[in-house]
Amino acid sequence: MAQMVGKYQHERNENLDEYFQAVGVPYIPRKMMTATSPQMEISVDESQQWTISISSLLRTTVMKFKLGEEYEEHMPGGVVIKSTTVTEDNKLNTTSIGPDGGKVLRTYEFNDAQCILTLKHEKSGVEAKRYFRRFAS
């Protein structure tokens, strides 16, 4: 199994603007977010609480969760979504449900060199990928 815990630097995106448009992100914030090159850090503590932190010049988002347990994520604009994350092979799979019942799937797939974050908006079928290179240990 590939190492998941670590620090990663964003390298490139595929279809990210279209994905943000499908989930309803307004034009200016969407353009700002697609132009960023964030760092991502993934950790897990002794109580098995996971933390995924994604930081850019614009903002930092932090998700804290235990595998298989529902948790809340606070999105820009005050939107709260309910999420659950599980592991499968070399992946962290997160299913999120918005206040309107819309579902978003996030898959963090790991190998020795990188993490590929796949984002899928279930209703529209729009999918995007973000590629993160692992920092050398």
Q: What is the CATH number of the domain that holds 27?
A: 2.40.128.20
Is the pLDDT at 70 greater than 80? The verdict is yes
123 belongs to a structural domain: yes
* Mean pLDDT across 22-32: 85
DSSP H or E stretch at residue 101:
none
For position 76, what pLDDT does the model report?
67
% of the chain surpassing 70 pLDDT: 96
Residue 1 lies in a domain: no
Residue 109 has pLDDT above 90, yes or no: yes
Q: Please give the pLDDT value at position 66.
A: 97
The number of domains in the chain is 1
Range of the domain at 48: 6-134
The answer as to whether 97 is a domain residue is yes
Position 89 in a domain: yes
Kindly report, residue by residue over 40-57, the tens digit of the pLDDT. 999 999 999 999 999 988
Q: For Cα atoms 93, 110, 133, give the angle at the middle one, nearest 5 degrees.
A: 125
Alpha-carbon distance of 8 to 56, in angstroms, equals 12
Q: What is the strand order of the sheet 91-97 is part of?
A: 60-66, 49-55, 39-44, 6-14, 127-134, 114-121, 103-110, 91-97, 80-88, 71-74
Task: Kindly calculate the radius of gyration of the chain based on its CA atoms and give it in whole angstroms.
Answer: 14
> Using CA atoms, how far apart are residues 137 and 123, in angstroms rounded to an integer?
39
Distance from C-alpha of 76 to C-alpha of 61, rounded to nearest angstrom:
10
